Chain A
Amino acid sequence: MLDQIDLSMVDWARAQFALTAIYHWLFVPLTLGLSFIVAIMETIYVRTGNPEWKKITKFWMLLFGINFAIGVATGIILEFEFGTNWSNYSWFVGDIFGAPLAIEGIMAFFLESTFIAVMFFGWNKVSKGFHLTASWLTAIGANLSALWILVANAWMQSPVGMKFNPETARNEMINFWDVLFSPVAVNKFLHTISNGYVIASIFVIGISAWFLLRKRHVLTAKRSILVAGIFGLITSLFLAFTGDGSAYTVAQKQPMKLAAMEGLYNGSNGAGLVAIGILEPSVKPGDGQDPFLMKVEIPKLLSILGYKDSKAFVPGVNDIVNGGYKPWYVDTPEEEKESAYSVAQKMEKGKLAIAALRDFKTASKAGDTIMADISRKQLEENFPYFGYGYLSKPESVIPNIPLTFYSFHLMVALGFYFILLFIVVLYFLNRGNLEKQRWLLWISLWTIPLAYLASQAGWVVAEVGRQPWVIQDLLPTIAAVSMIGAGSVKTTFWIFAALFTALLIAEIMIMVRQIKIGPKDGGQ
């Protein structure tokens, strides 16, 4: 039996979770968006009675089905990996985190799985109206499932609506609505699903562009581009809007993540936003060197976006590690209102909180109520820093800055590019000469992988940027793991890596063949 946490086990557990999440997130966004696009197309078919729209609907539905199955396959692993890889986490916050997962199953998964069968197999078995309803309910079910898992994820980034109970040694929910409607949850949900809508729109436009390049299924392609172009333009603007909201909540709740996103080592009042930049690879936190080889900065914009105030102080990595600055966060703890603690101070407080928990449990067992009350008070005072007690050094709170920085900037740049693409495509479609713009059709086709790249970059920002925390400030990754051998996790990592890769290749090959067959007979 291990006496200490096996650090390689932590790394492999993280790697496995990241692998599963990356693969899952390759398929889910398309499901989220394409389900709505298909439902819109079917609605047009039902309203107009035009069989061409039925053909279009069935074609995109076929691609939706191929993608859906593999999304489901990778999803089940994620749910159970919370238990297999992160058992301590499952107990520490299971009282709060488990609820959204259960609600997701009851409220969303059954809706989705019930009506998807009607959607695929009900064309000749149920009425047009019921079939259309089933298509919409499938889309709503898919998006509802995203709601609950993202509420759960948001809670990890900004734990609210709960209280630590020393009797049970875990966090317990005290306000469900705070969990559901926390600003982080609302922004994360809206930003993530709108990302799915944009990916699906680009997917439809890109494949339709290929048809136009080949001069095949021209009417189907144009009509698909019309639906996807409008849907994509609206949702990409919304994506930018919710991105701003997400960045604001990051500034308020996860200042270290914001500093990493911006490559901001030393904070300042009226901080500027780095629009484009190249980091100096050799720079380390605290060494005082300029972290950028080059950058283009927009003055004061980071302070405005993060704190709605052009004079606001945005702390950098070094400020957060060393403390001593005046925080501008809305809900700064009372004792840090004038001067933020250093990480070393927080580690001391975290260790006090953990020791107080031990004293409380010991005193309670011995029936010493006075000692138990003293320990409980000490625990409550220091609990906001509980997770820092497990850290070995202050620098542990710094995530991978280059990865977070470049992912963030790539995501933002591509996001704006997508808006431009939708506008240009719709412009030429409206003028009636889109099929003559071959350069644009090629760009549209090759934008499909860029959409996936932007989406994955978004998750890298969200998940790498929050390291080392599983639960912000309360539980670091190292304290959240299960007590299993690294060899077991390593073995299953490679098994799932091989399996998911094989299935991805299969999906792409099937999808490409179906696209080549085209919508003539609704695929095969």
Chain B
Amino acid sequence: MSLLSLQQYWWIIIALLGSLLVFLMFVQGGQTMIFCLGKTELEQKMIVNALGRKWEFTFTTLVTFGGAFFASFPLFYSTSFGGAYWVWIIILFAFVIQAVAYEFRSKPNNFLGKGTFDAFLVINGALGTILIGAAVSTFFTGSEFAVDKLNLTNFTNPVISRWKGPASGLEAVLNWRNVDLGLAVFFLARILGILYIMNSVDGEAIHKRSYKQLWVNTIPFLVFFLAYVISLMLAKGFAVNPETGQVFMEPFKYWHNLIHMPVVMVLFILGVLLVLMGIIRPLTAYAKCRTKGIWLAGIGTVLTVFSLFLLAGFNNTSYYPSTSDLQSSLTIMNSSSSHYTLVAMSYVSLLVPFVLAYIAYSWWSINRKKITQEEMEEDSHAY
């Protein structure tokens, strides 16, 4: 395979991991719904346990997403993490507190109290989704940085990626479009969380509240999501001249990308439709199929986010643009690992279908029986 083909292949892998991560953030969304859907301690426990059996998938996908980005596009890792410091640190903080919250919350003698660990879950659910959404939005809106590899020859200051933003990354949340996508991801995660809870918890009262909350969250999601998509299609984008590698601003760039990549357009439209079908399914389907909305909305989320990643990186586009030094913008061509490393990593990526298969089998094994009140009372390892 040519280097360009490998770069594209790895961008597809990154897009796949990113889209799976957003789907799996139903755990985060669900965490912000614990007290909306569960009114008694037992109901809350059932919801926490439904989510708690999946939190590690989200966590692992985030870690793998980071690792894969590092391995395939190390200049992004170097530039973004070392520059947009505070955004990434706050995201990490939000995930650190989540990792212990499930295991510790209901254990006796847990020092900080159950309320603290439940608060950790809510903080993780809100901060994690909004900030990851805002960070991904900078793929379209840009950040302030400069990259100069010649700096390596500066004896007193050899750092090649230098952030120019005034707030070490926090300036991302001062851009309304970044915040917009962050909020869209937040409400989408809540919707997915509700659908997942309906699918995995056996409780009439919880289901009743879920129907109501589904609509309460769908409206803001649609508002923020549509506002973002419209602004994206109308915005100038960061185009790359394939001959010279020069980056320039192109009006309606992301709309052009959709037109030039019809497959991506189909995936995007299909994804959005599936999300909407997943949302309305609980209200329209036969009783026993009403809890299956998570799968439609989940697949829809994966397709939508996947196509957004392809819009950001394909068709001669800079996926991590610099607004302070346009020619420092990162593309899949100028920021990737070497041919050898990408080939080696590609062999490893052949394991992905196998990994997905055993995840699916284990998921099915654990989820085929819904969580009941009786199980919560009997299970010694319940959270």
Interface 9-residue window, one of B68-76, B212-220, B313-321: B68-76
A91, A122, A357: the one within 8 Å of B74 (CB):
A91
Q: Is the CB of A358 within 8 A of B150?
A: yes
Q: Is the CB of A130 within 8 A of B365?
A: yes
Question: Contact mask B242-279 → A, CB, 8 Å, 1/0?
Answer: 00000000000000000000000000000000000000
Question: Contact mask B310-332 → A, CB, 8 Å, 1/0?
Answer: 00000000000000000000000
Q: Which residues of A contact B100 (CB under 8 A)?
A: 69-70, 73, 503, 506-507
Q: Is the CB of B348 within 8 A of A103?
A: yes
Q: Which residues of B contact A509 (CB under 8 A)?
A: 109-111
Interface 9-residue window, one of B56-64, B183-191, B229-237: B56-64
Chain B interface size, under 10 / 10 to 19 / 20 to 34 / 35 or more: 35 or more
Q: How far is the CA of A499 from the CA of B93 in the complex (A)?
A: 9
Q: Which residues of B contact A75 (CB under 8 A)?
A: 63
The answer to the question of B338 belonging to the interface, with a C-beta cut-off of 8 Å to chain A, is yes
Q: Which residues of B contact A91 (CB under 8 A)?
A: 74-75, 78, 149, 160-161
Q: Is the CB of B70 within 8 A of A102?
A: yes
The answer to the question of A92 belonging to the interface, with a C-beta cut-off of 8 Å to chain B, is yes
Q: How far is the CA of A122 from the CA of B349 in the complex (A)?
A: 29
Give, as a whole number of angstroms, the nearest-CB distance from A513 to chain B: 4
The answer to the question of A147 belonging to the interface, with a C-beta cut-off of 8 Å to chain B, is no
Q: Is the CB of A169 within 8 A of B366?
A: no
Q: Is the CB of A87 within 8 A of B78?
A: yes
Interface 9-residue window, one of A111-119, A228-236, A411-419, A448-456: A111-119
Q: Is the CB of A510 within 8 A of B104?
A: yes
Chain A interface size, under 10 / 10 to 19 / 20 to 34 / 35 or more: 35 or more
Give, as a whole number of angstroms, the nearest-CB distance from A475 to chain B: 9
Q: Which residues of B contact A351 (CB under 8 A)?
A: 155
**Chain B residue at minimal CB-CB distance from A69:** B103
With contact pairs A118-B366, A484-B163 given, residues A80 and B338 touching in the complex (Cβ less than 8 Å): no
Q: Which residues of B contact A522 (CB under 8 A)?
A: 380-381
Most buried by B among A4, A482, A496: A482
**Chain B residue at minimal CB-CB distance from A126:** B365
The answer to the question of A181 belonging to the interface, with a C-beta cut-off of 8 Å to chain B, is no
B60, B72, B381: the one within 8 Å of A105 (CB):
B60
The answer to the question of B11 belonging to the interface, with a C-beta cut-off of 8 Å to chain A, is no
Kindly identify, within residues 471 to 524 of chain A, every residue whose CB is under 8 Å from any CB belonging to chain B.
Answer: 479, 481-485, 488, 492, 495-496, 499, 502-503, 505-507, 509-510, 512-514, 521-524
Q: Is the CB of B66 within 8 A of A80?
A: yes
Q: Is the CB of A80 within 8 A of B88?
A: yes
With contact pairs A83-B77, A169-B152 given, residues A505 and B111 touching in the complex (Cβ less than 8 Å): yes
Q: Is the CB of A76 within 8 A of B348?
A: no
Give, as a whole number of angstroms, the nearest-CB distance from A233 to chain B: 31
Most buried by A among B82, B341, B352: B82
The answer to the question of B288 belonging to the interface, with a C-beta cut-off of 8 Å to chain A, is no
Q: Is the CB of B163 within 8 A of A483?
A: yes
The answer to the question of A17 belonging to the interface, with a C-beta cut-off of 8 Å to chain B, is no
The answer to the question of B9 belonging to the interface, with a C-beta cut-off of 8 Å to chain A, is no
Q: Which residues of B contact A99 (CB under 8 A)?
A: 71, 337, 341, 344-345, 348
Q: Which residues of B contact A88 (CB under 8 A)?
A: 78, 82, 152, 158-161
Q: How far is the CA of A90 from the CA of B66 in the complex (A)?
A: 12
Give, as a whole number of angstroms, the nearest-CB distance from B141 to chain A: 21
Q: Is the CB of A83 within 8 A of B75?
A: no
The answer to the question of B7 belonging to the interface, with a C-beta cut-off of 8 Å to chain A, is no
Q: Which residues of B contact A116 (CB under 8 A)?
A: 56
A482, A505, A514: the one within 8 Å of B107 (CB):
A514
Q: Is the CB of B59 within 8 A of A361?
A: no
Q: Is the CB of B93 within 8 A of A495?
A: yes
The answer to the question of A354 belonging to the interface, with a C-beta cut-off of 8 Å to chain B, is yes
With contact pairs A113-B60, A485-B168 given, residues A83 and B381 touching in the complex (Cβ less than 8 Å): no
**Chain A residue at minimal CB-CB distance from B381:** A120
With contact pairs A72-B99, A98-B77 given, residues A84 and B85 touching in the complex (Cβ less than 8 Å): yes
B66, B109, B156, B161: the one within 8 Å of A510 (CB):
B109
Give, as a whole number of angstroms, the nearest-CB distance from A308 to chain B: 33
With contact pairs A79-B63, A87-B159 given, residues A113 and B57 touching in the complex (Cβ less than 8 Å): yes
The answer to the question of A283 belonging to the interface, with a C-beta cut-off of 8 Å to chain B, is no
Q: Is the CB of A121 within 8 A of B348?
A: no
Q: Is the CB of A87 within 8 A of B79?
A: yes
Q: Is the CB of A107 within 8 A of B351?
A: yes
Kindly identify, within residues 279 to 322 of chain B, every residue whose CB is under 8 Å from any CB belonging to chain A.
Answer: none
The answer to the question of A5 belonging to the interface, with a C-beta cut-off of 8 Å to chain B, is yes
Q: Which residues of A contact B57 (CB under 8 A)?
A: 113-114
The answer to the question of A287 belonging to the interface, with a C-beta cut-off of 8 Å to chain B, is no
Q: Is the CB of A102 within 8 A of B348?
A: yes
Q: How far is the CA of A165 from the CA of B149 in the complex (A)?
A: 12
Give, as a whole number of angstroms, the nearest-CB distance from A474 to chain B: 12
Interface 9-residue window, one of A58-66, A183-191, A457-465: A58-66
**Chain B residue at minimal CB-CB distance from A161:** B340
**Chain B residue at minimal CB-CB distance from A130:** B365
Q: Is the CB of A101 within 8 A of B161?
A: no
Interface 9-residue window, one of A41-49, A172-180, A289-297: A172-180
**Chain A residue at minimal CB-CB distance from B65:** A105
Give, as a whole number of angstroms, the nearest-CB distance from A390 to chain B: 6
Kindly identify, within residues 144 to 159 of chain B, every residue whose CB is under 8 Å from any CB belonging to chain A.
Answer: 149-150, 152-153, 155-159
Q: How far is the CA of A522 from the CA of B378 in the complex (A)?
A: 12
A102, A488, A495, A505: the one within 8 Å of B71 (CB):
A102
With contact pairs A69-B100, A113-B56, A173-B338 given, residues A98 and B365 touching in the complex (Cβ less than 8 Å): no
Q: Which residues of A contact B163 (CB under 8 A)?
A: 483-484
Q: Which residues of A contact B352 (CB under 8 A)?
A: 106
Q: Is the CB of A98 within 8 A of B337?
A: yes
Q: Is the CB of A98 within 8 A of B67?
A: yes
The answer to the question of A33 belonging to the interface, with a C-beta cut-off of 8 Å to chain B, is no
Q: Is the CB of A90 within 8 A of B152?
A: no
The answer to the question of A305 belonging to the interface, with a C-beta cut-off of 8 Å to chain B, is no
Question: Contact mask B199-216 → A, CB, 8 Å, 1/0?
Answer: 000000000000000000
A66, A77, A109, A110: the one within 8 Å of B96 (CB):
A77
Q: Is the CB of A510 within 8 A of B82?
A: no
With contact pairs A90-B78, A479-B158, A512-B109 given, residues A95 and B366 touching in the complex (Cβ less than 8 Å): no
With contact pairs A80-B88, A106-B348 given, residues A358 and B82 touching in the complex (Cβ less than 8 Å): no
Complex A-B: 5 CB contacts under 8 Å: A102-B70, A117-B362, A130-B365, A495-B93, A506-B100
By a beta-carbon cutoff of 8 Å, the part of chain B in contact with chain A is 53-54, 56-57, 59-60, 62-68, 70-72, 74-75, 77-83, 85-86, 88-89, 92-93, 95-97, 99-100, 102-104, 107-112, 149-150, 152-153, 155-164, 168, 337-338, 340-341, 344-345, 348-349, 351-352, 355, 358-359, 362, 365-366, 368-369, 379-381
List of 8 A-B pairs having minimum Cβ-Cβ separation, nearest first: A87-B82, A94-B74, A83-B81, A105-B64, A98-B71, A482-B82, A73-B99, A98-B70
For the complex with contacts A83-B81, A87-B78, 6 further pairs of A-B residues with Cβ separation under 8 Å are A66-B104, A97-B70, A105-B68, A169-B150, A357-B152, A524-B107
